[in-house]
């Protein structure tokens, strides 16, 4: 079964750090561009970051640039999002998704919640 499973969410204080993981299975992970999309409570989807198949190219939304780092380990079939200098506005469910940059995201994980609060 093609699947993405996120983990690593939790409660963190403002200014703190957190690393999210997204474990892929059922497909050739190294062949796909991967993405992070977040959804604040009661809000819509917000695009966060993307990484190319070999990790050589990355993209960040302005809202997270300089604070978040996306990476991947194609041997472990895992996508990561290192989040730093967290703010209240970063509080959201974070989804990983599979798909081309200019294309549809055909597989999504179930999401992991990040709560930023003191």
Partner 1 sequence: QSVLTQPPSVSGAPGQRVTISCTGSSSNIGAGYDVHWYQQLPGTAPKLLMYGYSNRPSGVPDRFSGSKSGTSASLAITGLQAEDEADYYCQSYDSSLSVVFGGGTKLTVL
| Residues numbered 54-93 forming contacts with partner 1, rule: CB under 8 A | 59, 61
DSSP codes of every residue in 52-78: -TTSS-EEE-TTTTTTEEEEEETTTTE
2 binds partner 1 (CB under 8 A): no
- Does residue 30 sit in helix, strand or coil? helix
Whether the CB-CB separation of 108 and 5 falls below 8 Å is answered with no
From 5, 21, 23, 46, residue interacting with partner 1 (rule: CB under 8 A): 46
- Minimum distance from residue 35 beta carbon to partner 1 (Å): 7
From 31, 89, 104, 118, residue interacting with partner 1 (rule: CB under 8 A): 104
From 82, 108, 113, 115, residue interacting with partner 1 (rule: CB under 8 A): 108
């Amino acid at each position: 079964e093609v699947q993405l499973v996120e983990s690593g969410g939790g409660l963190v204080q403002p200014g703190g750090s957190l690393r999210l993981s997204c474990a892929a299975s059922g497909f050739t992970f190294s062949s796909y561009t991967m993405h992070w999309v977040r959804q604040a409570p009661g809000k819509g989807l917000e695009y966060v970051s993307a990484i190319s198949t070999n990790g050589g190219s990355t993209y960040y939304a302005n809202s997270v640039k300089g604070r978040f780092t996306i990476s991947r380990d194609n041997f472990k079939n895992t996508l990561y999002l290192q989040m730093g200098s967290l703010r209240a506005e970063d509080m959201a469910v974070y989804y990983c998704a599979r798909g081309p940059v200019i294309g549809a995201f055909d597989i999504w994980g179930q999401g992991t919640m990040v709560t930023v609060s003191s």
